[in-house]
Amino acid sequence: MKKVIYLLAASAFLLHSCGNSQASDKSKTNPETAVTGNPSEMVAAQAEVAGNSESASQDTTAKPKGGTILIGKNDFLKKVWNYQSNPQQWVFLGDKPAIIDFYADWCGPCRIASPILEEVSQEYAGKIDVYKIDTQKEQELAAVFGISSIPAFLYIPKNGKPVMAAGIGRSKEETKNMFKENISKILLITN
């Protein structure tokens, strides 16, 4: 009963939070702030592949194309974290760092961020994976991660804890720079 009430409250909050995320100070991410929460309550979503990319001019060498991928519960459990078999500890299952974009079709800032993130995913093809989760269809997963404002982006390094950031920049350029800076500082750091 407690989980049902939690999920209903989180769902209602998501429905009203989108409009306040654009041009907020939340677009700056603090790499020191890792995602927290009760892993045993994590639930995920359903799978579908999305996104495409155009091939680069007439270059004949094979290059990774990139692109964002819409994921759900089955893919989340296989590619990101199987919370069912490992509920007490975050264990990333990916073979390279990843970003998860929590979005909704009705969200204006989400629609602004989507093509920018698609462009970034192609630019970093082969270096990172970029996934999308529709918070309208996957309300439980959004609630598990405590998504209170969308768009929200979960940056998942290959090793270590994931970092959550919410909102976008004031312009397309600021938003793209935000993604690139967070990728550099959180995902592709070299020791």
pLDDT (mean) for 145-163: 92
Q: What are phi and psi of 148, to 5 degrees?
A: -115, -10
Question: Is the pLDDT confidence value at 185 over 60?
Answer: yes
Question: Is the pLDDT confidence value at 168 over 60?
Answer: yes
Q: What is the largest CA-CA distance in the chain?
A: 58
In which band, very low, low, confident or very high, does the pLDDT at 104 lie, cut at 50, 70 and 90? very high
Question: Is the pLDDT confidence value at 167 over 90?
Answer: yes
What pTM value is reported for the model?
Answer: 0.69
What's the domain count of the chain?
A: 1
pLDDT (mean) for 75-81: 89
Q: Residue 134: give the domain boundaries.
A: 2-187
* Residues facing 153 on adjacent strands: 101, 165
Which CATH number fits the domain that encloses residue 182? 3.40.30.10
8 A C-beta contact, residue 156 and residue 100: yes
Question: Active-site residue among 42, 104, 110, 120?
Answer: 110
Question: Active-site residue among 99, 107, 152, 165?
Answer: 107
| 66 CB-near residues (< 8 Å, 6+ apart) | 53, 121, 122, 123, 124, 125, 126, 130
For residue range 9-31, list pLDDT tens digits in order. Answer: 344 334 444 544 444 444 444 43
pLDDT (mean) for 21-42: 39
Q: Is 110 known to be catalytic? A: yes
**How much is the mean pLDDT over the chain?**
74
Q: Is 18 known to be catalytic? A: no
Q: State residue 107's pLDDT score.
A: 95
Q: State residue 76's pLDDT score.
A: 86
DSSP 50-116: ----PPPTT--S------EEE--HHHHHHHT--TTT-TTS-----SS-EEEEEE-TT-HHHHHHHHH
